[in-house]
Amino acid sequence: MKRRIAYQQDWEEYAHLDPEWAVLTEKNKRYGKWGKDEFDRTGKSDIENILLELEMRRISFFRGYALDFGCGTGRLTRALAGKFSKVFGVDISQKMIDIANNESQGIDNIVFILNKENNLEIFIDNNFDFVLSLLTLQHLPDRKAIYSFMKEIIRILKPGGIFCFQLPTKPTYRPFKSVLLKSRGWLYYLLTTIGIPRRICYEKIKISPYMHMQYLEGDEVMRILSCHGDIFVSDSPYTTLYFFQKSFQDG
């Protein structure tokens, strides 16, 4: 429980420090250098490419309810809103949700929800036609949490629905780098606790909360999902984009 609370705090801190960069960690965009229009264009491009790949593979599904799991400031949620009848975005950070709501004013078919639980009990079974999770599962605090949310997403996905997600297939951090980043995160909280402004710590001292990085081998992903439907992958050199279609017998 304490670990979960600490993980939530990490993302609240990032939401105050540099929310767009925390969502999409391009090196040259750190310290508030993402412009809103440019940031949103990346979301539109990602959604267009994902839907195009599904179309090219002749995978059909109903475009009713969609879920953006780990929505952050709504980069992908807003892009999905133009493709589905209703879109839900969930995130662990209240500040991220607040920003997402503010940035999405005037888009009537979006609902943003704060979810600090280790489950998706806020949603009923067989509820979504499409669930998307990019650059999110890798940041969960441990593999157990990844397994838990994968099972929850299968539960809330309609038979025939699509779950599109991304996960690294090998470690992102070398052991020394992981220890270094955790130490810098510990120092960030120490200094902010004694009164040094978070902005000074982040921009001047160059320290910030630890950003968890998990991975799952492809065989493990297949073991979790293959008994519930069909799965295929779109490979890149480091990470893997998975497309899962829930079996019509699994609902």
One DSSP character per residue, 198-221 reads HHHHHHTS------------HHHH
Classified as helix, coil or strand, 235 is: strand
pLDDT the model gives residue 236:
57
Domain ranges (residues) in the chain? 2-171+213-246, 173-206
What are the tokens at 239? Answer: 């990470």
The per-residue pLDDT for 125 is: 97
Q: Could you give the CA distance from residue 187 to residue 98 in angstroms, rounded to a whole number?
A: 27
What stretch of H or E contains 224? helix 218-225
CA distance linking residue 86 with residue 153, whole number of Å: 17
What CA–CA distance (Å, rounded) separates 72 from 80?
A: 14
- Please state the pTM of the whole predicted model: 0.94
Residue 92's closest CA among 2, 151, 14?
14
Fold of 2-171+213-246: Rossmann fold (3.40.50)
Which pLDDT belongs to residue 174? 87
Which mean pLDDT values do the consecutive 10-residue runs of the chain (251 residues) have? 72 97 95 96 95 92 97 98 98 98 97 95 97 95 94 97 94 89 96 97 96 92 93 72 91 65
